Amino acid sequence: MPANHKNAGLWLNFEAVRGLRLAPLALAASLGLAACAEEGPREPVRGTAVSHGIETQPERQARMTGRTGRDSRLAPGFSGAAVADEPGAALIARQVLEQGGNAADAATAIYFALSVTYPAAAGLGGGGICLVHDGSGKTVETVSFLASSPRGGGAVAVPGNVRGFAYIHSRYGKAAWTSVVAPAERLAATGSSVSRASAAQLAIASKIIEGSPSLAGVFAPEGRVANERDLLTQLQLASTLGQIRARGAAGFYSGPVARRFADAVRDAGGAVSESDLLDYRPSMGTAQNADHGGMKVWFPSADLAAGTFAAELWRDGASASAVELAVLAENTAARLGAAPQPGANYGSTSFAAMDRNGGAVACAVTMNGLFGAAKIAGDTGVALAANPAGAAGLASAYLAPVLMTGQNGEIARLSVAGAGAPKGAAAAQHVARNFTSAEAAQAALNAGIADLASPVNALGCPLGAGSASCIVGNNPQGFGMGVTGFSAAQ
């Protein structure tokens, strides 16, 4: 693969790649990324699936056809789609979807995989915001699990990601918890080849890694920061993920891991206590919405800084071009008292998932700076996020998941998320504003000025999730991947 390779905002039509489902890396090869990631071994989904009252395929097809007046038949065998800034995480999500998981399962699997392969933005110590649409419902929930300030202050945040994704999975997921965490545990334990995306992130963070003995011990094991195709193992992180797999969120927020985590943070000069961990809870609320082009667009709850920022940007950016919207985003942030720092890397990433039943999840997570507090928590292997008090907290204000549904809130049509600096949020909203067709959405994605540090990733289905018109697009300036899942069992 050429060293100067860039993914030029590539979009895939679901129907066009249906025949690739039996070749594990065929989709990666079609994207020019086969050398950038490995797909973990497939395993059966264990445990009992939970019913969420999802309507049958014929019922949904009839309802969609009656509403749109257009043919909205499912692509044969379609099981879902996912997109992320790191290819290995996207491939794991495809496994989960093809094994019967839904969008919530896929998003959870993406997150835990990213905690291994993209830790400077998605470490277990960080936090984030997701928008979740259950395929059987007509509303969108905001799940906020931002890393918080500990009672005792200090430079290290109380982690939110594990508790947040445990909630999303328990409320909306179908697959067994073990099946969405185990692939990440396996990656950490057996080692994974550093993808181009991971290598690019590590290169940007090289000075941070070299200045931190605990980070260097993991990401520069041979005296240099790991490069593309190097094999990295993270046995201590694998052990922590094993506790999470076996005990759920309790395996991280209580018991031996919590004690070791709190001790390690104290040794690192922080003040996160066991009670801070035990008492942490995500917050939930109905997402804000606005009508747009015969559809409904959804943003995070108004009680979040990210929700206030998103709503004002949407209100004021009606006719703005991609570049104008990015400028407006910076001005809006400044007006709200969250002026971005010039050139700052907020250590954030975004991803999205959709399933055949009209469900969708859009997420953005952050470490409050690249590698957050620039430390690993002792023998837990957990990368620590920075305390959001002060400038580090700006990262959470710019997290920008966006969903679009039918006018009545039914059936997800678009799942897109931006992160990083305000321009990531602007790029996500630019895609949503121009989601009139697959071609228009593609043009909007490519016109945005998102970059490696401020990504945008999107899934779009103009006729509703699962129709043959669905397309996948990832950050034009990044090295991520969009995937579709197909299964003969569907």
Count of CB atoms situated within 10 Å of the CB of 109 = 31
Identify the pLDDT of residue 48.
24
In whole angstroms, give the CA distance from residue 285 to residue 140.
Answer: 9
| pLDDT higher than 70, residue 60 | no
Assigned token pair, 74: 């499912």
Identify the pLDDT of residue 46.
26
Q: What is the pLDDT of residues 383-442, one digit of tens each?
A: 999 999 988 999 999 999 999 999 999 889 999 999 999 999 999 999 999 998 878 888
- Asked if 214 contacts 359 with a C-beta cutoff of 8 angstroms, the reply is no
In whole angstroms, give the CA distance from residue 174 to residue 177.
Answer: 9
CA distances to 55, 277, 285, 289, 324 from 303, rounded to whole Å, are: 32, 23, 9, 14, 27
pTM: 0.87
- Section 84-111 average pLDDT: 97
Identify the pLDDT of residue 45.
29
Assigned token pair, 366: 């952050």
Identify the pLDDT of residue 464.
66
| pLDDT higher than 50, residue 372 | yes
CA distances to 394, 401, 427, 481 from 457, rounded to whole Å, are: 21, 10, 9, 9
- Asked if 145 contacts 129 with a C-beta cutoff of 8 angstroms, the reply is yes
Q: What is the pLDDT of residues 163-214, one digit of tens each?
A: 999 999 999 999 999 999 999 999 999 998 999 999 999 999 999 999 999 9
In whole angstroms, give the CA distance from residue 324 to residue 329.
Answer: 9
Nearest of 380, 474, 329, 420 to residue 122 by alpha carbon: 420
Nearest of 59, 100, 62, 48 to residue 78 by alpha carbon: 100
